[in-house]
Structure 1
């Protein structure tokens, strides 16, 4: 939570925190994007950027992830030219042109204030130094941020490391003679940015099975200046009910520019399933799934038995099936108070000027609007960009002090037919693809 009595008060708190950081030798900063990567061929053997801006990690299971990074003066960390190469694939498979935050919108329940943290409240300026203990077994990269608040613009603020995520699979089969099981491994890339009393952890997890999970975690402190609960409905913090913390929402947006197999001419499909009660003679209900090709810009809503996928226009797996990535929304509390937060997913036609889901800066075309909902206006999708909106309604509790435990919000994209089989399949099971019979 943060100061909400006025914008001026919030800015003063952020500046005070920076001065305190300087006093202890920490740095924070922001500035325009640096070290712009050069254009890359469709399927590069490695991420096309200099070594200082390259992330390349081969996980113990044999999967390699490659990408470039840069630091944007408003969005913070931007990952570009992301490719995935599981064992058995002769070359990297491009997944995304770029992946980045698109906004963090924070409206308070009392209606007195709301924040657009990326474009309006110096999210990128608050990049924090990380201690080695925060990046166990990994590397902390130095981010040079022009126009920093500090004399030294160099921030040791980007962690790349690996971690286990538990079982990737387990299969015993019909007998107890053999158990196939493996632990999944992830490449973890993250930064921490301070905005007022909050510290946002922006986390990207690249799994060895090809999935990518994007999370924002909010931690830091509850603001003691915000214990008045001006709406009269805040949650009591501390002894009795004299201090009440004002509830608020965090509406986090991500912007994904897909480039499956190196092409931006991807196709969007929506799937909906309908369950019908059994009729006479049927033993169980039936389920019918229908596909809708999304040819024009979309403002979509998640619901039971609905999902979307981005389909490659050029690439197929070894079975001859078109490669695709499925969008997997995480838990969300959709905020109905603003037009741009009323939908869970937006798909827009690429426009280099459309970078933030709300309060978009820049000199876009006249009448283009400043938020993502305004950009969904019927254009044909030849280069689709996905905007994901995941909301969290924060009603504070005693346990939020002090410091505040991390509360996470996010989503995933999961490979669908990117490889012909599970990319982690043991060699002795590799023959079991499609219709098969036990060997005699």
Structure 2
């Protein structure tokens, strides 16, 4: 066969592998499939006919209610598919939970949840934005700053994560400030500082306005959208093609690739949810993980100022408006990627089709899967991997979230943070002490432009990992590396691996400690490999930040899951979100700290791991006006799961 030129490869690829966008199936094919358009409308119709709705009843969330695990594992193709939807509604200040049996076309229950706040909706946010701009106190504050043209002004009181004001008791409260996007394509970096607005969202009423006086408005260059794309010297084309199409297959929602088999759906609250993850080992299809997903994101800002001390966000639980996850672009995924559409609910519960909410692609990192050299022979194999990618956009920040399947049985979970760092207006236009020779001013962030401070903050991501290693009944084993003194030998000290089993939840609440290194090992005590070791998988942390705010800090109570890197709980279907189901105006009484207080048994039973990935962010000048993507990750990797290296025989071409 004559070799094709690059154009020929592209043409052949377009014929053999048209990677068009794939929507979810119009009819569910599996109990864990995402809700379909027809099911959204079914839920909408049942709610409308229930007699419970008013003109000011809004749908905050509409999610698949997963069947019991036992039901899913027993299900086989051809069986009836159980389908239910869980709905949270905001009903004129009341938070309501409802469940709709989609197959039976009926409302199973409708109940008011006392003391809870549903996530805010777009309708509510738009309404209070308009109310704020019409308030005479706000207008007076803007006028005092020379702002009378309101066409570029945005006033956006937003939800409060924890209890800050007494007005929050029994009320739906928003708090925040205004921005003026004049001179830029967006309003980030254009905060009208020292003017704060407290709003009753349900009553659509401004309760109070605090004006601490004008300070200079930041006017530095915040626009990056028009940055010219300029090839650097020496840049030549770098092309990766798959002329025969992708190496993975998707059949009725099941992905198969390089011995991996799994399913996934796109969830409006947590993004990609991977299910029924298995690895083919010889003739056996072995279970690794029943379900894995993001659970919550926690972002506390580190500024004690009145306008900033309240800023601590539980993003996944608070900012679902239109779905936390947003469409990907051709800059996010390679040309060979396959895209997947998804559905999110409108404020009335009707389905909104969102294009490109996830992409999937193969890549090679040009790294060996393994190698070894001897004087006369060097052997090795190249590697490839499969990436499932989504992107969350939460106001100013963008997060790229990857599930990366590797040929050796490892799953790499990665988060790339980018977007715009959040800033506040300040009096300073430069820094006097920049070399540690005096107290830095200002001290809670980095001055990225005149009168513009990027505030220090943290990012924490809790992942819920329902590992089922060779079956449901697993145990959590901690392998500590302990020093030992040596007598009667040349060495004076060594370290050894000392294993202990976690019997209850409190045994498994652990922190990273480089002075007491260890491994977090999930084993099946009933399954053993050729050498007698129990089969297992390890959660291997990457570089991660540790939350160290005071335990009685109200913001920290809401994000208490971030105070530890690993938690292990028994499988309970309702325990899905590390910070709790309802996080707006919360008291920190739900989620992992509350569940683990019961200290339930976790040995030789169905258990769930919760891993916290985190990082502290002291902003650099290089992070402005848009932040280069910064990656953090962790691994879920086999540990005595296989009897030998599973990539020993992969081919010499990736």
Shorter-normalised TM-score: what interval?
Answer: 0.7 to 0.9
Could you tell me which residue of structure 2 aligns to residue 112 of structure 1? 310
Deviates most, 284-293 or 272-281: 272-281
- Deviation of the 1:212 alpha carbon: 0.8
Pick one of 399, 411, 416 that aligns with 1:212: 411
Cα gap change, 1:65/1:277 in structure 2, threshold over 3 Å: closer, same or farther? same
Unaligned runs of 5+ in 2: 1-59, 83-248, 304-308, 429-440, 550-555
- Deviation of the 1:390 alpha carbon: 1.9
Alpha-carbon distance in 2 for matches of 1:288, 1:35: 43
Larger Rg: 2
Alpha-carbon distance in 1 for matches of 2:382, 2:427: 46
Q: Does 1:342 align with 2:563?
A: yes
Could you tell me which residue of structure 2 aligns to residue 12 of structure 1? none
Pick one of 601, 615, 636 that aligns with 1:380: 601
Alpha-carbon distance in 2 for matches of 1:73, 1:313: 36
Could you tell me which residue of structure 1 aligns to residue 464 of structure 2? 255
Alpha-carbon distance in 1 for matches of 2:474, 2:628: 39
Structure-1-length-normalised TM-score:
0.78
Contact 1:145 1:155 in 2 (8 A): no
Alpha-carbon distance in 2 for matches of 1:55, 1:133: 27
Pick one of 278, 290, 311 that aligns with 1:97: 290
Kindly report the root-mean-square deviation, in angstroms, between the aligned alpha carbons of the 2 structures. 3.3
Structure 1 SS opposite 2:384:
strand
Cα gap change, 1:238/1:300 in structure 2, threshold over 3 Å: closer, same or farther? closer
Alpha-carbon distance in 2 for matches of 1:171, 1:160: 32
Alpha-carbon distance in 1 for matches of 2:318, 2:330: 31
Deviates most, 130-139 or 247-256: 130-139
Matches within 5 A, 1:71-220: 71-85=266-280, 89-110=282-303, 111-122=309-320, 125-132=323-330, 134-136=332-334, 137-147=336-346, 152-165=352-365, 166-173=367-374, 175-176=375-376, 178-220=377-419
Cα gap change, 1:407/1:39 in structure 2, threshold over 3 Å: closer, same or farther? same
Structure-2-length-normalised TM-score:
0.54
Cα gap change, 1:33/1:53 in structure 2, threshold over 3 Å: closer, same or farther? farther
Could you tell me which residue of structure 1 aligns to residue 644 of structure 2? 421
- Deviation of the 1:302 alpha carbon: 2.0
- Deviation of the 1:124 alpha carbon: 7.1
Cα gap change, 1:162/1:322 in structure 2, threshold over 3 Å: closer, same or farther? same
Measured against aligned partners, the alpha-carbon deviations of 1:96-137 in whole angstroms (never above 9, x if no partner) come to 110011111011101331000010122771322223453222
Greater relative contact order (CA < 8 Å, ≥ 6 in sequence)? 1
- Deviation of the 1:359 alpha carbon: 3.4
Matches within 5 A, 1:172-321: 172-173=373-374, 175-176=375-376, 178-224=377-423, 226-228=424-426, 232-239=442-449, 242-261=451-470, 263-279=471-487, 281-297=489-505, 298-304=508-514, 305-321=517-533
Alpha-carbon distance in 1 for matches of 2:354, 2:541: 35
- Deviation of the 1:227 alpha carbon: 4.3
Measured against aligned partners, the alpha-carbon deviations of 1:305-346 in whole angstroms (never above 9, x if no partner) come to 211100124444455542100110111110123333221110
